[in-house]
A and B are shown apart, each in its own frame.
Chain A
Amino acid sequence: NAGVTQTPKFQVLKTGQSMTLQCAQDMNHNSMYWYRQDPGMGLRLIYYSASEGTTDKGEVPNGYNVSRLNKREFSLRLESAAPSQTSVYFCASSEAPGQNTEAFFGQGTRLTVV
C-alpha cells in the first residue's frame, strides 16, 4: 500500500540546472498538490491540480512548472534551478474537491541548489 510516492528523495543541483520531481499516488485521488517546506515558513503551496487535465498556481509558483500526466502522476519541474529553491518538496493528494478529507503526503524530496 504505497500511497504517495515521490522520487528522488535527495538531490543536489548546480545553479541553472534543470530537473523534474516525480510524484505518483495509488489511491485514485482526483486532486494533487506540490508544496515546499522552508524553516519557519511552514508548507507553502506551489501548484495544484484539482483533477486530471487541470493545473493551477498556488502561493509560490515562480520558477516552477507542473504536469498532470494522468490521474496518478503529477510532476514538478525546475527549469533553471536557483539557490532560493533549496527546500524540502512534498507532493500530496486528496479526494475530489469539496470533500472534507485530509491530504496524504509523500515522504518528501530534499533539494539543495548550490
Chain B
Amino acid sequence: AQKITQTQPGMFVQEKEAVTLDCTYDTSDPSYGLFWYKQPSSGEMIFLIYQGSYDQQNATEGRYSLNFQKARKSANLVISASQLGDSAMYFCAMREGWSSGFQKLVFGTGTRLLVSP
C-alpha cells in the first residue's frame, strides 16, 4: 500500500494567488513526521516545511503552511501569494517508525506546480 499519496500530477495557479497541494498518508505508528520538499527544474531537493504528529498547531514557514488534519491523515501544503519561482515539483514525505527503530523517509510521487503570470 502507498504510504504517501499525492493525487495531483499537475497544478496550475496564477501569480499572487494561493494554491493547495494535496498529500495523504498511511501509517499505524502514532509517532511520525511529515515533510514537504521542492524540486525546481535545476534538480536539487529543497526542504520546505515539517509537521510532527504530536504538533498541536499547523506548521508555517513564510509563505508555506501545512494544513494538517490528523484524523483524515492529510498534510496539504498551502503556498500563499504564488510567485513565478514557485514553479517546481513538490514532494510530500513521511518519516515513521519511532517505536521500531530506524525511521526511513518515504516519498510520494510528486505534484508539478506551474505558476503563470
Contacts and interface: CB of A to CB of B under 8 A. Distances in A.
Interface of A: 31, 33, 35, 40-45, 48, 50, 56, 58-59, 88, 90, 92, 94, 97-98, 100, 102-105, 107-108
Nearest to B51: A100
A45 B43 contact: no
Interface of B: 4, 6, 9, 33, 35, 37, 43-45, 47, 50, 52, 91, 93, 95, 98, 101-110
Contacts, number: 56
Is the contact region of chain A dominated by helix, strand, or loop, or is it mixed?
strand
A50 B105 CA distance: 12
A45 B44 contact: no
Contacts of B108: 42
B109 to A, nearest CB: 4
A94 B93 CA distance: 14
